[in-house]
Chains A and B, each alone.
Chain A
C-alpha cells in the first residue's frame, strides 16, 4: 500500500468557512481511493477577542468592522445557506463569540492523545450548531470529556498553557507560508488550496500527488 498523503489544514474554530471547507475536503477525500493523513493547525482569526464577548456575532461584526447591522444579516444568511448545502445546520443566534486560543490548545492536547480529528469536529459543531461556549476552560473540558478525553487532564493542560507554544508555532508557520485566510490546505507539503473549495478540487489535488509519486517510483 502506498504511503498516506499528508494534508495540513490551517483553521480556526469560529471560522464558518472552515467547517464548510472541512465537509468539502472530507467529501473530496472520500472520492479519492487512497490513504490521507490529516493534521489540523491553529490559526487565530481574532486573537484580541475577549473570552466573553457581550453580544451576538452580528453585533461583533458590526462593532469590529463597522458593517451596518442590516448588512450583516444577509451576509450571515448566505453563509448559513451554503452550510446547509453541505449538511451543516448553523445556528448563528446561539453562537458565543469568543477567543479561541484555549480551543486551539485543546486541539493540540487532543493530537497528543491521537484524537485531534474527533476534537476538531466536536469543537466546530459545538460552536456553530450547538451554541456551546468554546472559549472557557471548563466548557472545553466538558467537550473533551464527551469524546473520551480525561477531563481533569484537559483542565490541567489548559490552565498551565502546556500547549500554547504549539499554537503559536502553528501561527508562525502559517505566516511563513504566507497564509492570510482560512481554511488553508497544504497537501504533501507543496501544494496549497485556499478556502472552502469544491470537493472535486481536493480530489484532483490528491490524485495529482499520487500520480507524481508513481512517476517518481516508476
Chain B
C-alpha cells in the first residue's frame, strides 16, 4: 500500500474542543454495533437525536 502512512504527530490533542458535523458519504456499510455484527449502519448525529427523542436509546 504505497502512499499509506501512519500518524505523524503523536502530540496532537486527541479530542478537539469542537467537532464539526460530518457529512456522510456512501451507503450504509456492514458494521458492528455493540456486540452485534450483522447490520448495515448509517451513523449520524440526526439519527442519534431521533433515537434519543423517541426513547429508543
Contacts and interface: CB of A to CB of B under 8 A. Distances in A.
- Which of A115, A166, A197 has the most chain B CB atoms closer than 10 A to its own CB? A197
Contacts of A180: 33, 41, 43, 47-48
Contacts of A78: 38
A197 B22 CA distance: 17
A18 B37 CA distance: 10
Contact of A17 (B8, B16, B30, B35): B30
Interface of B: 1-8, 10, 14-16, 19-20, 22-45, 47-48
Contacts of B29: 17, 21, 183, 193-197, 201
B31 A195 contact: yes
A170 B19 CA distance: 13
B19 A46 contact: no
Contacts of A193: 24-26, 29
B39 to A, nearest CB: 7
B22 A38 contact: no
A172 B32 contact: no
Contacts of A45: 32-35, 37
A73 to B, nearest CB: 12
A201 B25 contact: yes
A52 B5 CA distance: 34
A166 B35 contact: no
Chain B binding surface, main DSSP class = loop
Contacts of A88: none
Q: How large is the interface on A (under 10, 10 to 19, 20 to 34, 35 or more residues)?
A: 35 or more
Given A17-B30, A191-B23, A178 B6 contact: no
A75 B42 CA distance: 20
Given A178-B47, A189-B20, A18 B32 contact: yes
A192 B20 contact: no
A111 interface: yes
- Which of B16, B37, B41 has the most chain A CB atoms closer than 10 A to its own CB? B37
Contacts of B44: 178, 192
Given A12-B32, A196-B30, A166 B37 contact: no
B37 A172 contact: no
Contact of A195 (B1, B14, B41, B47): B41
A38 B5 contact: yes
Given A49-B35, A111-B10, A194-B31, 19 more contacts: A17-B37, A18-B32, A21-B31, A34-B3, A37-B4, A39-B6, A46-B34, A46-B35, A173-B14, A173-B16, A178-B45, A180-B33, A181-B41, A182-B32, A192-B43, A193-B24, A193-B25, A204-B26, A205-B26
